[in-house]
Amino acid sequence: MTVARPTTSARSDARRNRGRLVVAARELFESAGVDVPAREVARQAGVGIGTLYRHFPTRDDLVDAVLEGAFEELIAVAEQALAAEDPWEGFTSFIEEALVLHARNRGLKDVVELQAHGLRRARAMRRRLRPLVAELVARAQEDGSLRPDFAPQDIPLLFWASDRVIELAGEVAPEIWRRQLGFVLDGLRTSAATPVAPVPLTYEQLRLVGRNKRGGTA
Amino acid sequence: MTVARPTTSARSDARRNRGRLVVAARELFESAGVDVPAREVARQAGVGIGTLYRHFPTRDDLVDAVLEGAFEELIAVAEQALAAEDPWEGFTSFIEEALVLHARNRGLKDVVELQAHGLRRARAMRRRLRPLVAELVARAQEDGSLRPDFAPQDIPLLFWASDRVIELAGEVAPEIWRRQLGFVLDGLRTSAATPVAPVPLTYEQLRLVGRNKRGGTA
DNA sequence: AACCAACCGGAGCACCTGTTCCGCTTCTGC
DNA sequence: GCAGAAGCGGAACAGGTGCTCCGGTTGGTT
């Protein structure tokens, strides 16, 4: 049984330290992923390790607090894409802009990829995103530009793939993922379609992916 | 200064133990990747940890000894693909068959992806593979089937991408990488080509990728 | 000013890695 | 058989991680 913990305290030092922890964690998560050692976050925030655990009893609590902003950006990107006049343009710009965020924020990538990280907010974000993505796909398919055998469940696969390219080559060639994505998007046009393995992942299968951590890379 | 160490010993128990270590390591590398703890390998081989380090002073020595066979398979796949009558068929079958090997052998994936693992043999394998791959690409482009702006240096990006899908979804849907690859291959046909980010990775950049380990993932 | 609950810090514990070191065992040549 | 070199096993060390616990401090209230 976990006792409810107010996110804001009566004491000014506590509030200040909490803020410092969030700032430090945000910086470190962005550049090094959500797996940075807790001691590192505490050190960068200039507080003791005990203070970190006092404010965030679980790693996921910290992740949730830190990535809220990034989630909002992601959803904003999807909403903007839905507002595009051209459905194909909307579809591709969502993927591209989302990947720009991924490229800038390693922690976001970690959380989006695996189910293993994050808590309520991460899950809420996924729930809010799903219908937007489904609509982007549907719109582009009705338009005739996106191949009809593409499924919304294929979107995560695109992200996994490009995220891997970002992760491996990001430091050497930060924009090379655009090239790889370009090839993929060319294959998603109706005009390019050729029969592929016909069964996409089910949502249930997607739910199971990455349950047991290990983000792959760095 | 490392003293030269004969790979075969005069003593029967030493030879037996070395063999057991290689067998155990091969099984574990295939199912769990090259990062399995050394103790695990020793335990599975029924041998002390000291014995492991006696036979393989560094992790890379073990990796080299174990993955030699997998490298040969990979090169055989490339040679077979070069023998295909249809250049496009050869090109795609190389990628598909290589990925079948990757899907079966997590350790092979690790070594092919990163420069960080393996030693002489891994490097020799990469050197032997490169001209074969270049030829597969050239053949398919001369044939007119593969888009002319594709470069041999883009091949690793395809592997990174599909490997990630295998890694994340492999347990839930072992064949789903074929669907993702199908989309990509459709985008690699000349008929599907649309301008993409025009500059591929240089070989020098490829050399730098994954120098500092931690593939990301799992 | 004085009190005390809330908070802080970090030593410390438990666990996991890679790698070394060395007393004991076993194989092989004689 | 015997001797000694080669090999074996695992305790032990070093470094890194998550997380807890508690003596000491401090902020805010009275």
Each residue's pLDDT tens digit, B148-179: 999 999 999 999 999 999 999 988 999 999 99
Please indicate if any CB of chain A lies within 8 Å of the CB of B145. Answer: no
B177 C-beta neighbours (distance < 10 Å), count: 27
Residue range A83-97: mean pLDDT, rounded: 96
Banded model confidence at residue A207, pLDDT cuts 50, 70, 90: confident
Q: Which residues contact A105 (CB under 8 A, 6 or more apart)?
A: A29, A30, A70
Q: Which nucleotides of C are covered by protein (CB under 7 A)?
A: 6-12, 16-22, 26-29
Residue B1's pLDDT is what? 44
- Please tell me the distance in Å from B62's CA to the nearest CA on chain A: 22
CA dihedral A192, A203, A113, A197 (to 10 degrees): -30
Please indicate if any CB of chain B lies within 8 Å of the CB of A116. Answer: no
Residue B3's pLDDT is what? 47
Residue B116's pLDDT is what? 63
Residue A7's pLDDT is what? 67
Question: In angstroms, rounded to a whole number, what is the distance separating the alpha carbons of residues B214 and B218?
Answer: 9
- Please tell me the distance in Å from A80's CA to the nearest CA on chain B: 23
Has residue A2 got a pLDDT over 70?
A: no
Sign (positive/negative) of CA torsion B131, B137, B140, B141? negative
Residue B117's pLDDT is what? 62
Q: What percent of chain A has pLDDT over 90?
A: 68
Residue range B196-216: mean pLDDT, rounded: 78
The residue with greater pLDDT, A21 or A208, is A21
Residue range A65-69: mean pLDDT, rounded: 87
Q: Which residues contact B49 (CB under 8 A, 6 or more apart)?
A: B38, B39, B42
A137 Rama sector, left if φ>0, alpha if ψ -120 to 50, beta otherwise: alpha
Residue range B54-74: mean pLDDT, rounded: 89
Q: Which nucleotides of D are covered by protein (CB under 7 A)?
A: 6-12, 16-22, 26-29
Cβ–Cβ under 8 Å, residues A178 and A96: yes
Residue A88's pLDDT is what? 97
Compute the radius of gyration of chain B from its Cα atoms: 19
Chain A positions touching B185 (Cβ under 8 A) are 187, 194
Sign (positive/negative) of CA torsion A30, A31, A34, A37? negative
The mean pLDDT of chain A is 89
Has residue A116 got a pLDDT over 70?
A: no
The mean pLDDT of chain B is 89
How crowded is the C-beta side of A137, counted as CA atoms within 13 Å? 17
Nearest to A77 by CA among A106, A32, A117, A108: A108
Residue B91 exposed, middle or buried by CB count within 10 Å (0-12, 13-18, 19+): buried
Has residue A216 got a pLDDT over 70?
A: no
- Please tell me the distance in Å from B55's CA to the nearest CA on chain A: 29
In eight-state DSSP terms, residue B3 is P
Residue nearest to nucleotide D21 (CA to C1'): A50
The residue with greater pLDDT, B148 or B6, is B148
Q: Do A169 and B218 touch (CB under 8 A)?
A: no
What are the structure tokens assigned to A37, written together?
Answer: 């050692």
Residue range A28-42: mean pLDDT, rounded: 94
Q: Do B205 and A165 touch (CB under 8 A)?
A: no
- Please tell me the distance in Å from B15's CA to the nearest CA on chain A: 36
The residue with greater pLDDT, B5 or A41, is A41
* Nearest nucleotide, CA B15 to C1': D7
Distance between the alpha carbon (CA) of B44 and the C1' atom of D14, Å: 25
B37 Rama sector, left if φ>0, alpha if ψ -120 to 50, beta otherwise: beta
Question: In angstroms, rounded to a whole number, what is the distance separating the alpha carbons of residues B49 and B38?
Answer: 7
B92-111 pLDDT, tens digit per residue, is 999 999 999 999 999 999 88
Residue B113 exposed, middle or buried by CB count within 10 Å (0-12, 13-18, 19+): buried
> SS3 string of B40-89?
HHHHHHCCCHHHHHHHCCCHHHHHHHHHHHHHHHHHHHHHHHHCCCCHHH
Report A:152-181 residues touching B (Cβ under 8 A).
154, 157-158, 160-165, 167-169, 172-173, 175-176, 178-180
Considering only residues 25-64 of chain A, list those whose CB is below 7 Å from strand D: 35, 37-39, 49-50, 53-54, 57-59
Residue range B39-49: mean pLDDT, rounded: 95
Banded model confidence at residue B216, pLDDT cuts 50, 70, 90: very low
Has residue A6 got a pLDDT over 70?
A: no
Residue B64's pLDDT is what? 87
* pLDDT-wise least confident of A78-82, A123-127, A151-155, B129-133: A123-127
Residue range B186-201: mean pLDDT, rounded: 93
Has residue A192 got a pLDDT over 70?
A: yes
Cβ–Cβ under 8 Å, residues A166 and A102: yes
Residue A217's pLDDT is what? 41
A198 Rama sector, left if φ>0, alpha if ψ -120 to 50, beta otherwise: alpha
Question: In angstroms, rounded to a whole number, what is the distance separating the alpha carbons of residues B134 and B113?
Answer: 18
Has residue A119 got a pLDDT over 70?
A: no
Q: Do A197 and B186 touch (CB under 8 A)?
A: no
Residue A118's pLDDT is what? 62
Which residue in B180, B194, B212 has the most chain A C-beta atoms within 10 A of its own C-beta, making it the best mutation to test that interface? B180
Q: Which of B164, B187, B209 sits opposite A187 (nearest CB)?
A: B187
